[in-house]
Amino acid sequence: MEPAAPLASTFAQQPWFWGATVLIAGLLLLANIVLFLVVFGRRLRERERARRTARFEQECAEMLEEIASGSQDAGRLHTRISRLNELERPIAATMLMERLDPASASERAVVRDALREAGAIDLLVRSLHRRAPWRRALAARTLGQVGADEAVPELVERLSDRSRYVREAAVRALGRIGDERALGPLTKLFQRPGRAGAGIVYEALLALGESSVPVFREGLSSTEESVRVTSCFGVAAVLDPADARAELEPMLADPEGAVRAAACETFGRIPGETVPAPLAQATRDPVPSVRRAAVSALGAYDDPDTLPFLLAALDDPERDVALRAGESLVRLGRLPAAGGRARAAIDETEAWPLETALVLESLGAM
Amino acid sequence: MSAVIAIVLVISVAIFAFFVIYSLTTLSLTAYSLFEEVHQKIEHGDGFRPFRRPLRSGISLVVPAYNEELVIVPAVRSLLGVDYEPLEVFVVDDGSKDGTLAVLSEAFDLRELPLGDRFGLETEPLEALYISAADPRLHVASKRNGGRSDAINAGINLARHELVGVVDADSLLDRDALARIVEVFSADPDRVVAVGGTVRIANGGVIEDGVMTQPRVPVRGIAGSQVAEYLRSFLSARIAWSAMNGLLIISGAFGVFRRDLFRGVGGLSRDTLGEDMELVMRLHEQLRPVRPGVRIEFAADATCWTEAPPGLRPLRVQRVRWHTGLLDNLRLHRRMIGRRRYGAVGLLSLPYTILVEVFGPILQVTGYAIVIVLALFDEIAWEYAVALLLVVLLVAQLQTAAAILTEEIGFGRYRRRDLLLIGGWGLLEMFWYQPLSALWRLWATFLWVIGRRPGWGTIPRGAALAQPPPVEPELAPAPLSR
C-alpha cells in the first residue's frame, strides 16, 4: 500500500500544490462570505425599507384622501409629489391603484384631474421609460387605473417593450382607458399571438366595445387556431346574440377541434329559441372536447329538439360527456318550453349520469 | 500488491476527477438559478402578483390518500381554501385501513354518488364515490388498494377540468399556489404541458387555518438538514433545469398537468417506484420528437409544504425508494441519453443525473472506504487529506449559500435565525447526512442490480401538519352524587 500515500504526500510537499489549494480555498471562502454578507445585508436593507414604508404609507394615505376629496392645493401637491423619492413613488402608485380599484368613473375623474394638475401624470409617463421593467409595468398599470388618455401614445409604444410583463401591463392599461387610438396596435397584437397573453389582449379589445367587432369578425378567418378560438368568444361577447350566432355557425365546421369546441361553448352563452342543427350534430363530433362543449351548450336551449341528442349523449364513450349530458337534461327540466318533456324523459330514463346530476342539483351545485 | 495499489490510484484519480466535474457543474447550475431569480426580480419587482387571466383553465386536484386519517382533514380544508376558481378536489382513498374515509365523511358531510363507468385509465376498481354536501367542490372516491399511482390514475379518470393537479395528502398549498402555477400555463398555452411547484418542508412551521404562516427550520438535525437539501435540490437546481427546459421531475407532492396529455400517455406508471419522474420523462420522450417546442416548467413561487420524514429510519426508506425509482427510470428512458432530438434532457440533464446521482454515491462511498483503510494502515497524507476536505466543505457550503441567497432574493420566507440554521446544517451535513445518504443510495443500487425491490414503507405522519385539537371549554365540576 506504500506508494499511494507517498504520491499524495509528494503532492502535498510541492509549493505549487499549496499555492493552488490556498488560492482555490481562498476564493471559495471569499465567495461564501460575500454570499452570506449579501443575504444579511439585504435583510438589513429590507428592514429599513419596511420601517420607511410604514411611515410613508400613513403620509401617503392623507395625501390620497385630499386628492380624492378634491380639496388639495395643486401647487402644494405638485411640490409633495415631485419630492417623492425612489422608495416612495412605487408605494404611492400602488396605494393609488388600490384606492381606485373600487372607485366609480366620476371619482376616478376627480383623481385624474387632480393628478394632472399636480404634474403626476407626466411623472408617470416618464416612468414608462425607466430601466427596471417592474417600474415601467407599474407606471403603465397606474396610468390605466387613473384612466390617463394623454398617455395612450406612450402606452402604445410599450406594446413593443422587450419585457412581456410590461407589454401585458400596457395592454391592460389601454383596455382600461378604452381609447380608440389603441385599436390598431391591439389588433396587430391580437392577430399575431405570442407577444402577450391572448386572454389579456382579448379583454382589452372587449373594453373598446363595438369598435372591436371587425377585429373579432376578421379573427374568425385567421390562419392562427388560437386567434379563431378567442374570436369566437369575442364575437359572442360584442355582437347582438342573433348576429353572433349567424357569424359563429360556420365555425362549427372548422377543421380544428379546439375551434369547434370554442364555437359550441359560445353557442351555450348566447342561446336562441331553437337549437342550430350543426350544434346538435356536434354532440356526435369525433373530438371529445367538442362533444363535451356541445352537450353543455344544448342545456341552455329551451328547445325540445335537443332532448334526443342529450339522451343519446348519456351513452357517450367519454365519462365527462355523459355527465354533462345528464347535467344539461336537468337544466333543461327547469326551462319553460322544453321543461315538461325533459322532466318526463328524466323520470323514464335510468342512467347514472342523470342520477349524478340530480344529486348535484339537490346540493345546489349546478 | 502493485495491482491493488494501481487500482487504488485509479479509483482515487476517478474520485478526484468526479469531484472536480461535480463541483463545476453543480456550482454552474446554482449560479444559473441565482441569475434567473435575480432576473425575475428585476422583471417583476417585489410583491409580484400574477395578472388575473380572463380565460384561465379550471383545475381538478387529485389527492391520493392511504392511512392519512391524522392529516387528511386539514389538508383538504387547505386545498379548498386555495384562492382559485374553477376548482374541484378529488380525494382518492386507496383502501386505507385506518379511518381516513370516516373522518372525511364526518368533516365534510359526504353523500354517495353513482359510480358510473367509462374510466379511461386502467385501475383497481372503485368501491364508492361521494360528494360533499358542505362543499360540492370536494369529491371522495374509495377504491381497492393499488398503490399511489393507481389512486392518482383513478382520480384523473374522475377529473373534469382541463388541468389536473396532484397533491399529496400530507401537504399544504399556499393560497396563491395554483394561480401562480396556472400563470406559467397561461403565459405559453401552446407549449407548456406540465408545471411543478416548489416543495418545502413544513416541519417546525406555524400553520394557521391550513396555511403556512411562518415557516421555521427545525432545530433537530434530520429535518433541518432536509430543509437545506430541499433548498439546494428542489428549488435552486430546478430553477436552472427549468430555464434550460431540461427538468426530469415534477415532485409527486405538487404538480399540474394537462389532463388530455396525462391520459394520452397512459397516466402514471404502476411499475416503477419513481412514478412522478417516470411520467415527466415519458412526456419528454413521447412529445419532444413530434412537438419540439414542448416545455415542462417549474414554478418556483408556487409553494407546497410537505412533512419531511422525522427520523433516520423513515428517511432511509424514502431515499432507497427514490433512488430505486431513479434507476428504474434511467433504464426505461435510456433511449433519450445523448440524443439531440430530446434537447437539454438528452444532452444535459440525463448525463448529469447519471454522473452525479448514479456514479456519485458509488465513488463517494468508495472514497470514504479508501480513507478509512488508509487511516487504519496509517498511510494517509494528512496535509493532502485536510486540504481536500477543506475544499470539499467550501464547495458544499458555497452551494448552500447560493441556494439561501436565491431563496432570499426570490421569496424571503425564512427568518434570519432560520437562514443561519440552514447555513449551519448545510455545513454539518457533510459529516453525517451526506455520507448516510450516499450509503443508502449505494444500498439501493445494490438491491436494484440484484433485482430486489424495496417496498413503499411507512413514514409516520401528522406531527408537522395536524392541527392542534380545539380546546374544550372547561366544564363545571359535576355535583357529587348524594
With beta carbons under 8 A apart, name residues in chain A contacting B404. 35-36, 39
Q: What is the pLDDT of residue B150?
A: 96
| Closest-CA residue of chain B to A29 | B394
User: Which has the closest alpha carbon to B401: A335, A164, A36?
Assistant: A36
Q: What is the pLDDT of residue B96?
A: 94
A318 to chain B nearest CA, in Å?
6
- Between residues B461 and B35, which one has the greater pLDDT? B35
- Which CB contacts under 8 angstroms, 24+ apart, belong to B379-386? B379/A1, B379/A2, B379/A4, B379/A5, B380/A5, B380/A8, B381/A5, B381/A6, B381/A8, B381/A9, B381/A11, B381/A12, B383/A9, B383/A12, B384/A8, B384/A9, B384/A11, B384/A12, B384/A17, B385/A8
User: How much of chain A, in percent, has pLDDT values that exceed 70?
Assistant: 95
Q: What is the pLDDT of residue B141?
A: 97
Q: What is the pLDDT of residue A17?
A: 80
Q: Which residues neighbour A324 within 8 Å (Cβ) at sequence distance 6 or greater?
A: A292, A295, A296, A299, A313
Interface probe for B, chosen from A10, A320, A358, A360 (most Cβ of B below 10 Å), is: A320
pLDDT tens, residue by residue, B389-443: 899 899 999 999 999 999 998 888 898 899 999 998 888 888 888 899 999 999 9
Torsions phi, psi for B140 (to 5 deg): -130, 130
Q: Assess whether pLDDT exceeds 50 at residue B468.
A: no
Q: How confident is the model at residue B462 (pLDDT cuts 50, 70, 90)?
A: low
Helix (H, G, I), strand (E, B) or coil at B59: strand
- Between residues A216 and B479, which one has the greater pLDDT? A216
Question: Which of A353-362, B131-140, B226-235 is predicted with the least confidence, judged by mean pLDDT?
Answer: B226-235
Question: Which of A58-67, A316-325, B300-309 is predicted with the least confidence, judged by mean pLDDT?
Answer: A58-67
B57 to chain A nearest CA, in Å?
11
Which of B53, B374, B405 has its CB closest to that of A38? Answer: B405
With beta carbons under 8 A apart, name residues in chain B contacting A5. 374, 379-381
Number of A/B CB contacts below 8 angstroms equals 160
What value does the mean pLDDT take over residues A173-198? 91
Helix (H, G, I), strand (E, B) or coil at B47: coil
What value does the mean pLDDT take over residues B238-265? 94
A155 vs A144: CA distance, rounded Å:
9
Q: What is the pLDDT of residue A105?
A: 79
Q: Assess whether pLDDT exceeds 50 at residue B294.
A: yes
B53 to chain A nearest CA, in Å?
6
Asked if B405 and A39 come within 8 Å (Cβ–Cβ), the reply is yes
Q: Assess whether pLDDT exceeds 90 at residue A123.
A: no
Q: How confident is the model at residue A9 (pLDDT cuts 50, 70, 90)?
A: low
Asked if B405 and A40 come within 8 Å (Cβ–Cβ), the reply is no
Say if B121 is an interface residue toward chain A (CB within 8 Å).
Answer: no
Residue A3, Cβ neighbours under 10 Å: how many?
15
What value does the mean pLDDT take over residues B308-319? 89
Q: Assess whether pLDDT exceeds 80 at residue A11.
A: no
Q: What is the pLDDT of residue B124?
A: 95
Positive or negative, the CA dihedral A209, A215, A220, A222 is: negative
Q: Which residues neighbour A328 within 8 Å (Cβ) at sequence distance 6 or greater?
A: A295, A296, A298, A299, A306, A310
pLDDT tens, residue by residue, B318-343: 999 999 999 999 999 999 999 999 99
With beta carbons under 8 A apart, name residues in chain A contacting B380. 5, 8
Q: How confident is the model at residue B138 (pLDDT cuts 50, 70, 90)?
A: very high
B419 vs A220: CA distance, rounded Å:
55
A76 to chain B nearest CA, in Å?
30
Q: Assess whether pLDDT exceeds 80 at residue A302.
A: yes
User: How much of chain B, in percent, has pLDDT values that exceed 70?
Assistant: 92
Q: What is the pLDDT of residue A366?
A: 80
What mean pLDDT is reported for chain B?
Answer: 88
Q: What is the pLDDT of residue A5?
A: 59
Say if B385 is an interface residue toward chain A (CB within 8 Å).
Answer: yes
B397 vs B23: CA distance, rounded Å:
11
Residue carrying the nine cell digits 416618464: A126
User: How much of chain B, in percent, has pLDDT values that exceed 90?
Assistant: 60
Which of B5, B43, B136 has its CB closest to that of A1? Answer: B5
What value does the mean pLDDT take over residues A282-294? 96
Please give the domain boundaries of chain A with CATH numbers for all domains: 86-101+108-174 (1.25.10.10), 280-366 (1.25.10.10)
Q: Are B6 and A5 in contact (CB under 8 A)?
A: no
Q: Assess whether pLDDT exceeds 90 at residue A213.
A: yes
Q: How confident is the model at residue B471 (pLDDT cuts 50, 70, 90)?
A: very low
The predicted model scores a pTM of 0.88
A121 vs A173: CA distance, rounded Å:
14
Q: What is the pLDDT of residue B481?
A: 34
A118 to chain B nearest CA, in Å?
27
**Please, where in chain B does CATH 3.90.550.10 lie?**
49-349
Q: Assess whether pLDDT exceeds 50 at residue B476.
A: no
Q: How confident is the model at residue A347 (pLDDT cuts 50, 70, 90)?
A: very high
Q: Are A285 and A291 in contact (CB under 8 A)?
A: yes
**DSSP class per residue in A291-346:** HHHHHHHHTT---TTHHHHHHHHTT-SSHHHHHHHHHHHHHHTTSTTTHHHHHHHH
Asked if A132 and B111 come within 8 Å (Cβ–Cβ), the reply is no
CATH H superfamily, domain B49-349: Spore Coat Polysaccharide Biosynthesis Protein SpsA; Chain A (3.90.550.10)
A130 to chain B nearest CA, in Å?
12
B231 vs B414: CA distance, rounded Å:
12
With beta carbons under 8 A apart, name residues in chain B contacting A17. 384, 387
Cell of B117: 363507468
Interface ipTM > 0.85: no
Which of A28, A31, A197 has its CB closest to that of B391? Answer: A28
Say if B12 is an interface residue toward chain A (CB within 8 Å).
Answer: yes
What value does the mean pLDDT take over residues B8-30? 88
Which of A1, A12, A43 has its CB closest to that of B381? Answer: A12
Angle at B117 (CA atoms; ends B115, B118), nearest 5 degrees: 145
